[in-house]
Amino acid sequence: MPGKNLSRDEAQQRAGILAVDGYRVRLDVTSAPDPAAATFRSTTTVAFRCSQPGAATFLDLLAPAVRSITLNGRALDPATAYDGARVHVDGLAAENVLTVEADCAYSRTGEGLHRFVDPADGETYLYTHYEPADARRVFANFEQPDLKAPFSFTVTAPAAWDVWSNAVHESVTEEGAARTWEFAPTKPISTYLTAVVAGPYHVARDHYSLELADGTTLEIPLSAMCRKSLAPYFDADEILGVTKLGLDFFHEEFDFPYPFGKYDQAFVPEYNIGAMENPGCVTFKEEFVFRSKVTDAAYEARANVVLHEMAHMWFGDLVTPRWWDDLWLKESFADFMGSYGLIGARTRYSSAWVTFANQRKAWAYRQDQFPTTHPITADIRDLEDAKLNFDGITYAKGASVLKQLVAYVGSEAFFEGARRYFKRHAFGNTELADLLGVLEETGGRDLKSWAAAWLQTAGVNALTPQVTTDAEGRITELAVLQDTADDPATPSRGVLRPHRIAVGLYDRDADGALVRTERIELDVTGTRTVVTEAVGRPRPALVLLNDEDLTYCKIRFDAESLEALRTGLGDIRDELARALAWSAVWNLTRDGLMPARDYVALVLRFAGQEGNIGVLQSLHAQAKTAVDLYAAPEWRAEGARQLADGALRELREAVPGSDHQLAWARFLAQTAGGAEHLGLVRGLLTGSARIDGLEVDQELRWSLWLALAAAGQAADEELAEELAADNTAGGKRQYTQCLAARPTPEAKAAAWSAVLDSDELPSAMVEANTAGFSIPAQRDLTVLYAAPYFKLLEKVWAERTIEIAMRIVGGFFPIAQTDEQTLAEADAWLSGHPQAAPALRRLVLERRDDLARALRAQSCDRA
């Protein structure tokens, strides 16, 4: 399709000559409940100025049909002016009014205006999602972040529905079976931030007010919505409680009154991402409405997202990156603020930095070691590049680097800089220099070299301690090595960075716990930095670099410290230090420096005493990956049996009714293989077996069914019966995954063709199929699909929307075929397709790198 992929150059040109005064957008979605209706009517009227009268420009629009185009009273012929992606207009005046009337399509992929029919009650729900550039699927517009404008939405919908948008509604008029909602004009915002949510949603309302410094009171109406059939599970009080704490906190930190009036939070079905920061109308994936018992880690994750999106009201919505190169200017900040806010706003999630160290950073380290990694400030040529940059660098590494910046300039300078940034750039667009400018003003430090090292280069450094002692066991020198040549997995790309770190020295106390006896904070620069304060102290059992997780780096250990971890990792008393140690040994495993079976042994030995539930759940996932991908093939079966035995042992020993018990039950379901484990799984389902305190609720039931299905021990009728008992959106997904997980050629073929032969599947169902299809232990069944996979990549990329294509490319990659032949096939595709879309090549390069890493780890495990 011509021009579908807007380039940065085109956006710059357009912004160079245009200024948008405002949009009026009318949508008529009364047809939505009719499954036969594929489209809805959309009419945009945009008023804009042009600094070069006579020039030509275009609006973006992805619509099946354009009915009329009128520029300054002159009718244009859609047949010639509309090319399927753009509405071309020329002969612009200094001031213009352009109206485009189109039929736009209801979406099934979560891009644009998504339509969902609830299997539980037949109700229809709509919501929009646009970032980075899908507003053009719903109404004609100048789709780029720096052409901000006020938007006035009018939505006509079935009379029984409610409708929300960014602003409050000013009137609702009923006519026949429809109601028309007129919304107040928004503040100037970017197109990708506009939103409409419509349907018979269940809604909980509340209110927030705050006395401002000038004596006035800020009033913010709050609401939270979800589908009616989820209402019994909707803990809106908890969500709104976090919301209010966050509003208190961000007002205090940012000193800029919330600028968007009201604050709605909609939990919507089949959402492709965690959440989206539409001003005044945030959308979340509805999996955050918990239908069954989940661990506290899930509540913490949700609260983190609530605060992340709220931080965006300032970082992103009030002040917006000019183009997607500086996406990090909003995502890194919001990601940092999610964790910072959980602590600062005094929510009950006081271990937020442990979660950050353990999970967010793992995401960053993984992404940063791909050959496709990029600096935090990226080079984003076009929208396809932009789409792939919502990644571990932009979010998690960026947030980690901001955490380091806070340590570097001090938190007061950092937040004073933020306050100036909001005041100076309110309702505008920014670039890196705008941020550095305010931080240099407030911090008094030149940030150019800091930014060059941290923001404008890619890669992660490894820090390793080097300890020498005298005959009495006293330290004669403690040095911190940055990326030494004896580390075979140094991914720093030759860049050494300034690191503000703490070094922790740990020894056993009288109770046998490993506790910090010394903490030394210093700047690490260059390849070797001596920690002078350590000289003369007794050699400790454990030297932990980057204690307290101030900087972003991989940490290594000297031989004695590593031995201390092997015998006592679980005995480290401090929760954050223990999480750092777990991360470090996982990185060693991924880097092929610790055999996978040694990592599994550490998990089996110490995971049972891990108090932090989020860390425990990470250990489960990582131990499973270690066995599935990183262990030598000849040890896999033994490793799998050890994990299942460990899961069963810990499940029986866990405190009844605890989160830990639930986590171990799920881990048992993921690892169960032998007759004993599968027998218990079936027993838990039928009720013939019980674990004291363990409630086998709906989500756990599906996990248990998945174990049986993958083992070939779930009859089709049994799965169908379970679906009949849970005929919901979530139930359908789980059922689909169970079907795809059955160990038969027919099941694999059905899942493969369900995804590839129809473009009707929403992304959640694509994921259910690929997840069930790709069970690593079934590699002998899926090996047949490796060659066809590489043959169809370009076709998938060309024909499917990017959200779906990304899931297919990632989900069907033959990662379980960890052998040289598959690696060669991936390489052959890459070298044979230099002209393939860069975003597609990037996805394949990353999966190929996962495969190569697994092969390296396997040879370490074998040796």
Active site residues: 309
In the bound state with Zn ion, the residue whose beta carbon lies nearer, of 336 and 635, is: 336
Pick the stretch among 49-57, 192-200, 215-223, 329-337 that binds Zn ion (CB under 5 A): 329-337
72: which 2 tokens?
A: 């300054």
Closest separation in Å from C-beta 825 to Zn ion: 36
From CA 48, how far away is CA 140, in angstroms rounded?
Answer: 13
Minimum distance, C-beta of residue 396 to Zn ion, in the bound complex (Å) = 11
| Closest C-alpha among 274, 361, 257 to residue 309 | 274
Between residues 331 and 434, which has the closer beta carbon with respect to Zn ion? 331
Closest C-alpha to 421, from 254, 190, 193 = 254
Smallest CA-to-CA distance from 851 within 805, 824, 803, 818 is with 818
Q: Which range touches Zn ion (CB under 5 A), out of 228-236, 238-246, 330-338, 531-539? A: 330-338
Q: Which of these segments, 8-16, 333-341, 375-383, 503-511, binds Zn ion (CB under 5 A)?
A: 333-341
249-257, 334-342, 402-410, 850-858 -> range binding Zn ion (CB under 5 A): 334-342
Note whether 256 and 426 are within 8 A (CB). Answer: yes
Cis peptide upstream of residue 595 (ω within 30 degrees of 0): no
Whose Cβ is closer to Zn ion: residue 254's or residue 785's? 254
Read off φ and ψ for residue 538, nearest 5 degrees: -65, 140
Taking the complex as a whole, how short is the minimal distance between the CB of residue 326 and Zn ion, in angstroms?
A: 14
Quick one: which H or E segment has residue 420?
A: helix 411-425
Q: Which stretch binds Zn ion (CB under 5 A): 327-335, 524-532, 602-610, 794-802?
A: 327-335
CB-nearer residue toward Zn ion: 392 or 568: 392
Torsion region of 512: left, alpha or beta (phi above 0 gives left; psi -120 to 50 gives alpha):
left
Strands (E), 261-398: 263-268, 275-276, 281-285, 320-321
- Other beta carbons within 10 Å of 653: 11
Q: For Zn ion, which is the closer residue by CB, 363 or 852?
A: 363
- Helix, strand, coil share of the chain (percent; to 5): 45, 20, 30
- The smaller minimum CB distance to Zn ion, of residues 398 and 570, is found at 398
Distance between the two ends of the chain, CA-based, in angstroms?
Answer: 52
- Least distance from Zn ion to the Cβ atom of residue 128, Å: 17
Q: How near is the Cβ of 278 to Zn ion at its closest, in Å?
A: 11
Alpha carbon distance 614, 637 (integer Å): 27
For the bound state, the minimum distance from the C-beta of residue 319 to Zn ion, rounded and expressed in Å, comes to: 14
Q: Which residues from 390-429 bind Zn ion, rule CB under 5 A? A: none
Residues facing 50 on adjacent strands = 18
DSSP 715: -
Nearer to Zn ion, 331 or 547 (CB): 331
Pair of tokens at residue 236: 């809106």
Nearer to Zn ion by Cβ, of 334 and 805: the residue is: 334
Beta strand residue intervals within 753-843, DSSP E: none
As a whole number of angstroms, the distance between CA 725 and CA 729 comes to 12
3-state secondary structure of 734: helix
CB of residue 277 vs Zn ion: minimum separation in angstroms?
Answer: 6
User: Least distance in Å: CB of 308 to Zn ion?
Assistant: 6
Q: Which residue has 């070797």 as its token pair?
A: 528
Tokens coding 337: 């603020």
φ/ψ (deg, to 5) at 624: -65, -45
CA distance 806 to 825: 19
Nearer to Zn ion, 386 or 580 (CB): 386
Residue 311 in the binding site for Zn ion (CB under 5 A): no
Q: What amino acid is encoded at 641 in this protein?
A: R
For the record, the structure tokens of 77 come out as 């012929």
Instruction: Specify the stretch interacting with Zn ion by CB under 5 A; choose among 102-110, 289-297, 325-333, 541-549.
Output: 325-333
Report, in Å, the least distance between residue 368 CB and Zn ion. 19
Q: What is the 3-state secondary structure (H, E, C) of 490-559?
A: CCCCCCCCCEEEEEEEEEECCCCCEEEEEEEEEEECCCEEECHHHCCCECCCEEEEEECCCCCCEECCCH
Taking the complex as a whole, the smallest distance from the CB of residue 562 to Zn ion amounts, in Å, to: 37
| Least separation in angstroms between CB 399 and Zn ion | 10
The continuous run of DSSP H or E covering 765 comes out as helix 763-773
| DSSP 8-state assignment for residue 143 | -
Nearer to Zn ion, 331 or 861 (CB): 331
Measure the CA–CA gap between 774 and 730, rounded to whole angstroms.
20
At 207 the three-state DSSP class reads strand
Quick one: which segment of 326-334, 366-374, 753-761, 771-779 binds Zn ion (CB under 5 A)?
326-334
Q: Which is nearer to Zn ion, 311 or 542 (CB)?
A: 311
Which CB, 245 or 334, lies closer to Zn ion? 334
As beta bridge partners, residue 266 has 225, 283
Alpha carbon 220 to its chain centroid, in Å, reads 28
The single residue among 140, 334, 648, 839 that binds Zn ion, judged by CB under 5 A, is 334
To Zn ion, the closest distance from the beta carbon of 287 in angstroms equals 17
Task: Pick the closer one to Zn ion by CB: 316 or 344.
Answer: 316
Report the nearest approach of Zn ion to the CB of residue 116 (Å): 23
Q: Strands 86-89 and 18-28: what pairing?
A: unpaired
Q: For Zn ion, what does the binding mask look like between residues 55 and 94, x meaning CB under 5 A? A: ----------------------------------------
Residue span binding Zn ion (CB under 5 A) among the ranges 62-70, 328-336, 516-524, 620-628: 328-336
Residues 767, 805 contacting (CB under 8 angstroms): no
- Give the residue at shortest CB distance from Zn ion: 334
Strands laid side by side in the 499-508 sheet:
514-524, 499-508, 542-547
Question: Contact letters (x/-) for Zn ion, 736-755, by CB under 5 A?
Answer: --------------------
How many residues touch Zn ion under the rule CB under 5 A: the total is: 2
User: Could you give the CA distance from residue 849 to residue 371 in angstroms, rounded to a whole number?
Assistant: 7
Number of H helices, E strands in the chain: 29, 28
Contacts of 593 (CB under 8 A, 6+ apart): 488, 489, 860
Per CB under 5 A, residues contacting Zn ion are: 331, 334
